Amino acid sequence: MTQQELIEKFISLSEGRLTTHEWMNWFTDHKDTVEKICGRTAFLKIKPKESFSAIRNVYIGQLGAFDWLQSVKIDTTFSELYKKDWEKEFNDFCKAEKQKEKQLQQDVENKFGYLKDIYPKFFRQLTKSYSHSDIIEAGLQQEFILNKEKELSIQLPEDLIIWYRNISNLKLEGLEIDFQELSTGTIQKKQYLIMGEFWLYGDGDQLLYSLENQNIYIFAHEHSPPKTIKIANSLSDFVEKKMVTYLREYES
């Protein structure tokens, strides 16, 4: 391919006379020559990006090709066709995302609306960050909780009973609280209820409930040396503050 043939193709692109497929196929076949003739900087501006749609890539390519033509003193017109196509695609995408968000909010309301009065901040965050890969299972009847108390030879504190009466199993990214796995353990000479895992400082960090003061801790086992770290004054604070913040940060 000669420089003149490249110029003619760039002019066709600038004037909006190529289809998306024509441009993408042509660029794939001639990308080495484009870089050689135009230089690395211009090439990178024109080159399709893997994360972009075909419509956006043809518009990006048009902008880069037009700039290069201007740099070598070749006048041509600039069509708004690709820009309009990209804007339409983007607007359609935004509408679809809003519809997905509304559907998610409705799904959360239908499944977990009962949490609204108990853990309102957590519930509101679920309407923004819940996905169908997450697991939140409904709470347990009192008889199961009584059986667990007998198994562990303890009386569960009221805030834990409230939690398990509403959520028996919760699995989010990096956070797992499963009633079936609830156990007792002595860590660094103190007794805790091991509620599950919360990977706040490292994979596999245990989530601990202090039977002494009802504070919530993380056992950061990868810390040197391993240590228990207080993360909330109560289970309610953990759910309504720490979990909400964690989900918000993970979402962003």
The CATH number assigned to the domain with range 116-251 reads 3.40.1580.10
Region 66-87 average pLDDT = 96
How many residues does this entry show for the chain?
252
Gap between the terminal Cα atoms of the chain = 46
Q: What's the pLDDT at 197?
A: 95
Beta bridge partners of 170: 136, 177
Beta bridge partners of 176: 171, 197
DSSP sequence for 159-197 = HHHHHHHHEEEEEETTEEEEGGG-EEEEETTEEEEEEEE
Digit-coded pLDDT (tens) for 143-187: 999 999 999 999 999 999 999 999 999 999 899 999 999 999 998
The ranges assigned to domains in the chain are: 3-86, 116-251
What predicted TM-score, i.e. pTM, was given to this entire model?
A: 0.64
